[in-house]
Amino acid sequence: MLTLHRARLVLADPTAPPLVDGAVLVAGATVAEIGPFSELAGRPARVREWDGVLVPGLVNRHGRWLLECAYHPDPREESGDQPLAPPDELTDERWGGSARRGLQRMLAFGATAVTGPFDRPSVRTAATRSGLHVLPGDGTPGALDPLDGRPLGTAVHRALTAGGAADFAVFDARTLEDVERGAGCLATVLGGRLLHRRR
């Protein structure tokens, strides 16, 4: 099935200007076409309209530290949703639960890739099952937000191209500058699947 994602601005490649009223046509897990909505409309596709800026998926460069050195509390613990110092004696099962919550929170910031490698088996399993791409990294401490003060171009995992992976995020923004200033993520699509949608 085809899905056409329309957005106020579509930035397929950080080195090129964005498309105004652009769209990304997704076929399965890949990008079929990118272009102005007026040219891609009318295809036999489900249309998702996003009032924001669509950009390639981002990479969280602090994944190893966030998932293996920090604890992501369960909402029932009423400890917030930010990473904390891990409680003493976390079992492998609790590390796995923490990693799953951390990965979901990364998706909510537009991440489609995360740095590893992961030594804990339960964390490695959670990362594999999440679908996020695992890249080599150095494990430095950092935030859940892949941008966290970085320019957008330095946080992009890879450009969106026809025939490439349908990995992208949509931000509640009017401009690329709004995205860099911390606009909230409306949706994250990974391998053509909508894995995060802000409620």
CATH of domain 2-57+158-197: 2.30.40.10
| DSSP label at residue 156 | B
Angle at 157 between CA 137 and CA 50, to 5 degrees: 140
pLDDT of residue 117: 94
Q: What is the pLDDT of residues 144-158, one digit of tens each?
A: 999 998 999 999 999
pLDDT of residue 77: 80
> Which residues 6+ apart lie within 8 Å of 36 measured at CB?
19, 20, 21, 22, 23
Query: What is the pLDDT averaged over residues 135-142?
Result: 91
Q: pTM score, two decimals?
A: 0.94
The ranges of the chain annotated as CATH 2.30.40.10 are 2-57+158-197
Average pLDDT, the chain: 95
